[in-house]
Chains A and B, each alone.
Chain A
Amino acid sequence: MASNVAQKRLFHEYKNLSTNPPEGITAGPVSEDDMFYWEALIEGPGGTPFEGGVFAAELKFPKDYPLSPPTMKFIGGGVWHPNVYPNGTVCISILHPPGDDPNHYEHASERWSPIQSVEKILISVMSMLAEPNDESPANVEAAKMWRERRPEYEQKVRDEVKKGLGL
């Protein structure tokens, strides 16, 4: 029941997330016909320049989930962050399988393991928004700005958030 493992597991995660959602996070499959494609909404964490924003992201799961991690990508743009590629793809250690470490800086303990979950990914992304990791930035410009011109970075993030909300 190879694919059923992935489907069932995703179903359990979906049910758990919908009955017992962590604060500021909503996630689920776009269509119940395809459990391998989800959309998530993450609220910008309070006390950060992302506060007040709501960020949509898509999650794509491999057929051998949970052996391999999903990928996550912010859609609609507007996430100016050292660990988010300009195209929206999220670069965070929990989304990387322990086997390969292209960036040579991540501890295996922070990486993907089959006992991780969508919920944990989304919580990690939320805390990533609050605390960028500039060791190996996905968006070099944003990382530079974050490191060297913090007020400008924060202003840009706030502007993007406002734009995202259509203000």
Chain B
Amino acid sequence: MDQSFNLPDSTDWLGTPLSLLAPLESSLRCQVCKDFFDNPVITSCSHTFCSLCIRRCLSTEGKCPACRSSDQELKLRRNWAVQELVDAFNTARPKVLGLAQAEKERLEKREDDAKQPAQKKRKVSRVAEEESQVEEASSQGRQTRSSRTRNSVETPGASQVIPEVIEDSQDDDEYIPEDGMVACPICSQKMKEEAVFGHLNVHTEEAQPPKPATFGSFMGPSQKGLSLGKPPDRLPAINYSILKDISLRKKLRDLGIPEWGPKQLLQRRHTEWMNLWNANCDSKSPKSKRVLLSELDIWERTQGGHAATQSPFVSSSNVMRKDFNANEWSSNHDDDFKRLIANARKKSEAQVRSTIPGAASDGLSEPAQAPTQQHVEALPPNGARIENSEGSDTNNTIDLSG
């Protein structure tokens, strides 16, 4: 769970100077799963969802979740443009977000500094007339800066070709002012503030090689599909009502998926498999059948036949399906269970206590206690044991006679 709490989300942009990217990111996410579109497909009513999400919706309801017009899985078409957008956005996202967050921190820092005038040079220079001491400091700061710029002008070649990146302070002493250096948000190299933007081009150039690759792969799948001549076959929908249990079971066996359970479960499992399979057919890089089988297994454990939470007859009783949650039940009734256990313990303790002194009478009335008694027999020290031995004797005689 912890891991999922670090999931990237469109709200990551909020609070940064790029908060307007939040709605952009939301629009690149599926409205059903709220994740980035995964194999996006478009419905005949022109709404886009992940292939698997819309297939699951259509197989439960037969309607578009956005506008509720009826639709069929057969009419879904891949939406490559959206896939492209998502891929490109995802490639750029970490770096853009990194920049936005660095900028946010910088702005916050500046604000903090502004609250402490002595440390803030620029702000101070505006308020300079009031505090002469600070003015001195700020003018010094200005001096160093101007000398710095002069220096960089003196060595034009270096500042143009190498965008003022300082790796080692010993290489060029002229570039080591104590402050005024900022870290590149991407590679954390220290450099002058003015140089950051120029320097960032280095990173964008670095990042470019994968870009044409993703663009090229846009055309990839269809070409690959053609050249291989073997796109995976889609599974047809089945009209379950005309199939008998046995033939449905055989179908599942032929598909290579589990075939146990009552017909309801078989239907649901087949539907889930069909959705997984057909959504995979929409993928640029289809997964292997083994991966799909493991996904079906997860379904089996969370919603299918192995789900502790649901009876196999789910769809026949909607109330059960929606309301009953075994985990919740056990956590809600945890106290009850503990109380029952405590009661049971108390009872057995009470029995033990009552059996030790008056063992004879108890033993007579409830022969079932014999095991407890014998167990107790071993535990107490000598004093109790003498008394108890009588009881166990009588007990034994009863056992023999009965």
Residue of A nearest to B323 (CB): A71
In the complex, chain A residues whose CB is within 8 Å of the CB of B1: 7, 32-33, 35
Contact residues on A (Cβ < 8 Å of other chain), bracket: 35 or more
* Complex CA–CA separation, A11 to B29 (angstroms): 14
Q: Are A16 and B321 in contact (CB under 8 A)?
A: no
* Complex CA–CA separation, A58 to B325 (angstroms): 14
Q: Are B298 and A3 in contact (CB under 8 A)?
A: yes
Tell me the B54-84 residues at the A interface (CB within 8 Å): 56-57, 60-61, 63, 65-66, 68
Q: Are A98 and B35 in contact (CB under 8 A)?
A: no
Q: Are B325 and A3 in contact (CB under 8 A)?
A: no
* Complex CA–CA separation, A32 to B295 (angstroms): 24
Residue of A nearest to B295 (CB): A1
Q: Are B11 and A19 in contact (CB under 8 A)?
A: yes
A146 within 8 A of B: no
Q: Are B4 and A5 in contact (CB under 8 A)?
A: no
The listed residue (B7, B68, B272, B309) touching A63 by CB distance below 8 A is: B309
* Complex CA–CA separation, A115 to B34 (angstroms): 9
* Complex CA–CA separation, A14 to B12 (angstroms): 13
Residue of A nearest to B272 (CB): A2
A47 within 8 A of B: no
Report the minimum CB–CB distance from A158 to chain B (whole Å).
32
Q: What is the number of contacts between chain A and chain B, taking CB atoms within 8 Å?
A: 105
In the complex, chain A residues whose CB is within 8 Å of the CB of B309: 63
In the complex, chain B residues whose CB is within 8 Å of the CB of A11: 4-5, 7, 9
Report the minimum CB–CB distance from B309 to chain A (whole Å).
6
The listed residue (B4, B10, B328) touching A8 by CB distance below 8 A is: B4
* Complex CA–CA separation, A113 to B62 (angstroms): 12
B241 within 8 A of A: no
B14 within 8 A of A: yes
Q: Are B63 and A98 in contact (CB under 8 A)?
A: yes
What is the 8 Å Cβ interface bit string for chain A, positions 104-117, against chain B (1 contact, 0 not)?
00001100011100
Using a CB–CB cutoff of 8 Å, the interface residues on chain A facing chain B are: 1-5, 7-9, 11-13, 15-16, 19-20, 32-37, 60, 62-64, 66-69, 71, 97-100, 108-109, 113-115
